[in-house]
Amino acid sequence: MQRSTDRIYTTHVGSLARPAALLDLMKASAAGQSAGDTALAAAHRAAVADVVARQRAAGIDVINDGEQSKTGFFAYMGQRLSGYEPRSGRDTMDKFQPEIDEFPEYHEQYFKRAMTGGMAVPAASLACTGPVSYVGREQLARDLAALREAAGDTDPDRVFVCAVAPSGVGGNEYYQSESDYLDAVADALHEEYQAIIDAGFTLQIDDPFLTEEFSYGTGSPAEKLEIAGRYADAINRSLRGIARDRVRLHTCYGINEGPRLHDAPLADLIDTLFTINAGAFSFEAANPRHEHS
């Protein structure tokens, strides 16, 4: 696409608020009380059409479906990959504990109304207990069709679709090594990534876990680099055959609204980020760290 150079193009990180009617149907479906697939599908299509229209009205140039069909960042891959079981004993916020310890009263009330407390479906960590394979073709096809209907003939680099990175799917209890596990997840996720590209959209891979390793990992700097390097290698494996200019990589320090004292400097991770075969990078951050007494 030939872009003009007289303006800065705008986009966002991916997830946008779901309407109450859609959330109610998603919660009912998760509880086994669904009004039916037809009602949920219709509500999803309407939500995508509305969120696309709102983005355009706001002047957003590079739009998406707001992830309207996904019950949560952690949860949706449990519906699209086989080989996993929920592990309720694991807290998805465990690595964030240093920040919680700094301001416990704030986080106690915050998590009741936001983050894990505000999810349509309660978050549960996933454990890989068998061979990983992709089983989400029908759901993915519905998502892509709804976005295509709402976006029309918009150019591929003006519409993006989010997908979680291999490092964000769950913990390994089946494969002999972490590298073998990440390879298997990458191979399974390649099917979703390729389908997004084949549908005529730009792929956004979401990998906050890469940045999280530098901020909250307990190993030495060299060990953190080694783990982050495995994450980057897994992404590149999942992108085999996909053109770099059709991919954007998003990472961040997390989406919670609150004080942050333990975020790693961007300099710690930038070299690792740039080993990933993406044509664009989206990084969510805020003010520099300040010491407190």
Q: Closest Cα partner for 96 from 172, 209, 207, 178?
A: 209
What's the one-letter identity of residue 133? S
> What is the chain's alpha carbon radius of gyration, rounded to the nearest angstrom?
19
Q: Closest Cα partner for 200 from 262, 150, 246?
A: 246
Cα–Cα dist 121/118, whole Å: 9
Q: Closest Cα partner for 251 from 186, 206, 193, 203?
A: 206
Instruction: Answer for the pair 122, 69: CB distance below 8 angstroms, yes or no.
Output: no
DSSP 89: T
Domain boundaries, the chain: 20-284
The whole model's pTM is what?
0.88
Identify the pLDDT of residue 292.
Answer: 44
Identify the pLDDT of residue 74.
Answer: 66
Instruction: Answer for the pair 235, 166: CB distance below 8 angstroms, yes or no.
Output: yes
What CATH number is given for 20-284 in this structure?
3.20.20.210
Cα–Cα dist 162/202, whole Å: 9
- Coil, strand or helix: which one is 187? helix
Q: Could you give the C-alpha distances from 82 to 85, 88, 126, 191, 285, in angstroms and in order?
A: 9, 18, 11, 13, 34
Query: CA triplet 257, 228, 160: central angle to 5 degrees?
Result: 60
Those residues whose C-beta lies under 8 Å from the C-beta of residue 1, and which sit 6 or more positions away, are 155, 156, 157, 158
CB atoms < 10 A from the CB of 287, how many? 7
- In this prediction, the residues of the chain whose per-residue pLDDT falls under 70 are 1-5, 33-36, 74, 89-94, 114-124, 255, 285-293
